Structure 1
Amino acid sequence: MDIRIVIVDDQAMVRAGLRMVVESEPGMEVVGEAADGRDAIAVVRRTSPDIVLMDISMPRLDGLSAAREMLDAPSPPKVITLTTFDSDENLYGALRAGTSGFLLKVSPPEQLIEAIRVVHSGDALLDPAVTSRVIASFAGWAADPSPSPRLDDLTPRELEVLGLLARGLTNAEIAGRLYVGEATVKTHVARVLMKLGLRDRAQAVVFAYESGVVRPGAAA
């Protein structure tokens, strides 16, 4: 079954370029487009996509607000934020709102395709190491770390996995660090997400920073 995608950007040329890249890839289908957040919500409700490629800065309703509304709905799509990074101070807020990752608008086409496939598969992050560094650099946008009572539900090993995940390690790297199989790490990650009530790895990274499990600049 094809991966169903909605493209949201206020620039028609950007939408056309994204559509051309996506539709050149077997197994992917663009089922809708929108030029602002308000229209994007309507398109998503009508088409029920798997993935939304979401710009942040748009008229009427910005991408961050639109993503929050989409992700609060039953059976929400996964949202990949499109950003210029160096000028967009909403990136941390986008991840905190529950988006599954981000992609630079200047990224090469193959990176866009890989991002869609990785997020659709459930890993949620195109590059965990990059995402963790971005979150660390934007940590000033978050409130002071405050331990969450939900951490009490984690076993010591699960807490260790959460810390390594938040520092940007992949499943394979965590497996090597803990001397266990990668399948075991995947099981731990799944249990961490379930116990903490988190959607994916992106939310787990944000949660770990906000709850003080890891702190910006901490070594992996």
Structure 2
Amino acid sequence: MAEAERIIGTPDSPETGAAEPEKPENEGGEAGAPASQRPKGRRRIAVLFAVAVFAYALDLSSKLLVVAKLEHHDPVKIIGDWLQLEVIRNPGAAWGVGEAFTIIFTAIAAAVIVVIIRLARKLYSLPWAIALGLLLGGALGNLTDRVFRAPGVFQGAVVDFIAPAHYPVFNLADSSIVCGGVLIVLLSFKGIDPDGTVHKD
């Protein structure tokens, strides 16, 4: 009997070639994938901040230029009456809405920046990095105006200067925020999460 058990093997005996324990999944969710194939979280964070810095620098430099060259001057026509450059100071949101709530808009912009920075720690998706970078750069651009421009700290008016016909005047920070928001909506519809995973509802 003992000889038969030795030949057949018990479930715990080495002769049975017992199944190896499952390998734990790595950060990317693939068992046993080499480190070189794991998501590059740091690279995605670098993309986010690179996009944000570019969007912020472009917005800041454009505002400095138009304030120095165009403010208190007649509008500059780019495409007839369809598109002009005209500097205005906007203490509210789009269409001048909420002019009495400048501090609230300042707090909202600051909160958006904090949320994006916190979300960056779990960022593995390149498209999400670009989208959040656009949002961050645009929010920083308008927040800079709120903090440092007249009439005072946290009450400053945003510099808008792109004036299409039949549309509110806006700036490059606004464009960056809109583009980032549209991209986030598209990614959400496709089921792509910031951590790079794809889900289907």
TM over 0.5, shorter chain = no
User: Given the two structures, how large is their TM-score scaled by the length of structure 2?
Assistant: 0.22
User: Given the two structures, how large is their TM-score scaled by the length of structure 1?
Assistant: 0.20
Larger Rg: 2
- Greater RCO, 1 or 2 (C-alpha within 8 Å, sep 6+): 2
